[in-house]
A and B are shown apart, each in its own frame.
Chain A
Amino acid sequence: MRIVETELIKKAVKEAVKTANTRLPVDVLTSLEKARDNETVPHARQVLDILLQNAHQAQTENMPLCQDTGLVTVHVQLGQEVALTGGSLYEAINQGIGEGYTEGYFRASMVKDPFERVNTGDNTPAVVHLEMIAGDKVIITVFPKGAGSENMGRTIMLKPADGWEGARRFVVDTVRIANANPCPPIIVGVGVGGNLEKACLLAKKALLRPIDQPHPDRRIAAREAQLLQDINKLGIGPQGMGGDTTALAVTMEVYPTHIASLPVAVSLNCHSARRAVVTV
Chain B
Amino acid sequence: MAHVLRAPLNGNALQQLHAGDEVLVQGTVYAARDAAHQKMIAALEAGQPLPFDIEGQIIYYVGPCPAPPGRIIGSAGPTTSSRMDVYTPALLQRGLKAMIGKGDRSQEVKEAMKKHGAVYLAAVGGAGVYLAHRITAVETIAYPELGPEALLKMEFQDFPCIVAIDMRGQSVYQASDE
Contacts and interface: CB of A to CB of B under 8 A. Distances in A.
Interface string A155-177: 00000000000000000000011
A108 B35 CA distance: 14
Given A67-B63, A105-B68, A108-B148, A241 B75 contact: no
Interface of B: 20, 35, 62-68, 74-77, 79-80, 82, 102-104, 122, 124-130, 132-133, 146-149, 160, 162, 164, 172-174, 176-178
Nearest to A240: B173
Contacts of A113: none
B105 to A, nearest CB: 10
A51 B162 CA distance: 15
A140 to B, nearest CB: 23
Contact of B173 (A106, A121, A180, A272): A180
B176 A179 contact: yes
Contact of A107 (B64, B80, B126): B64
Interface stretch (A55-63, A79-87, A201-209): A55-63
Secondary structure call for the B interface: loop
A10 interface: no
Given A54-B126, A64-B65, A119 B147 contact: yes
A180 B164 CA distance: 11
B173 A65 contact: no
Nearest to B176: A179
Contacts of B126: 51, 54, 65-66, 183, 270-272
Contacts of B160: 50
Given A54-B129, A235-B174, A239-B125, A67 B102 contact: no
A67 B64 contact: yes
21 contacts: A50-B124, A50-B127, A54-B126, A54-B127, A57-B133, A64-B75, A64-B129, A67-B75, A67-B128, A68-B63, A107-B148, A108-B148, A109-B63, A148-B79, A179-B104, A179-B176, A183-B102, A240-B103, A241-B20, A241-B173, A242-B174
